[in-house]
Structures are given as structure tokens and as C-alpha cells.
Amino acid sequence: MLNAFFVGLGGFVGSIGRYLLINFSKRLSAGHWFPIGTLTVNIAGCFLIGILGGYLQDRSDIAEHWRLFVIVGVLGGFTTFSTFGHETVHLVKSTQSLGALLNIILHVSLCLFAAWWGHHLGR
């Protein structure tokens, strides 16, 4: 139960960070049509999860609840795209390139379809 608390607390922090960075990016881009805020958050989240995932990978001196707080909570709340990026990199590094390609194709195609279908049903 304590691990769930750390994930939730991290999600709270990450969600606020996403909100603030997206709004900051929107102000800088002066309302441009492209969703620069979302792109900025996704790139930042992927960069951070890459750094932290690589750093924490072989570290046994860091408690599991702190890993959950940062990786699952903060970065998961910041952007789930960072998790997608991290898992795809892990597949490539595990010499599962076909799995990585499948992960990319399925995420992009099925998630876009789900968003389109959901939007259609919601109207």
C-alpha cells in the first residue's frame, strides 16, 4: 500500500509539472496551431526517463518506493509517452528490434484509432 501512495504522490507532482510546462510552451509559441506544449512535454519526459532509467537500472542502493515515485509516479503523471519510449528502448537494447517496431506501430496506429473512435462516439 505504501508503494501505491508513492506512485500517487508522484503522479500528482508529474501532472502539475505537465500542466505548467504545456502552458509555458503555449505562451512561448504565441498560440501556434501545432501542439508544441504536448510535444515539449513528451520529449522532456522521454529524455528524463532515459536518464533516470539508465541511472537507476543497476543501482541497488535506491529504495523501490523512490523508483516508483519518480519513474511510475512523476514521469507517468508527466507523460505516459515517456514510458512508451523507455519500453521501446528496452526492447531494442534487449535485441528485440521486431518487438520494438511492433510496439511503435501498435501504439501509434491503435492509439490514434482509439482517439478517433472515441471522439466519434463522444459526438
In tens, the pLDDT along 24-44 reads 988 888 877 777 888 888 888
* Total of domains in the chain: 1
* Residue in 87, 62, 68 with CA at minimum distance from that of residue 14: 68
The residue written with cell numbers 506544449 in the block is 37
Q: How far apart are CA 103 and CA 97, in angstroms?
A: 10
Question: Which of 19-28, 43-52, 112-121 is the least confident region?
Answer: 112-121
Q: Give the residue numbers spanning the domain of 37.
A: 2-122
pLDDT at 87 over 90: no
Q: What is the mean pLDDT of residues 77-86?
A: 84
CA atoms of 112 and 106, how far apart (whole Å): 10
27: its cell numbers: 505562451
CA angle 2, 14, 57 (to 5 degrees): 65
